[in-house]
Amino acid sequence: MKRIAIVTAFAASLALGAFAAEAKLPPSPPMSDAQKAAEAEKAKAAAAKDAQELAKAQDAAVANYKKNKGIAEPKEAAPVKAAKKK
């Protein structure tokens, strides 16, 4: 009997969840001009910050490349002088 009650409760919760998932929220109220301007200012500041961080990362990458570029290139060995024969 207990098992049937658990299965029934589970099925009921699934059915209730299915109906709740289809519910829609009411639309948000329209934004005022001040809110639109504040949102645009936030977006502009975020874009400027992202551009600054990108430029900083690019400068670091270029500095790293220039610093480590010579390591990969082998240096020429000094020429060996041939021994004189007597």
CA angle 22, 27, 30 (to 5 degrees): 170
Report the share of the chain in percent with pLDDT over 70.
74
- Would 24 be classed as within a structural domain? no
- Would 57 be classed as within a structural domain? yes
SS3 letters across 14-34 = HHHHHHHHCCCCCCCCCCCHH
* pLDDT for residue 55: 97
47-82 pLDDT, tens digit each: 999 999 999 999 999 889 888 885 555 556 666 666
- Would 5 be classed as within a structural domain? no
Domain with 42 in it? 37-61
- Domain count within the chain: 1
Torsion of CA 57, 63, 68, 70, to 10 degrees: 150
pTM score over 0.95:
no
C-alpha–C-alpha distance, residues 45 and 14, integer Å? 45
- Would 41 be classed as within a structural domain? yes
Say if residues 39 and 31 touch (Cβ distance below 8 Å): yes
C-alpha–C-alpha distance, residues 46 and 54, integer Å? 12
- Would 42 be classed as within a structural domain? yes
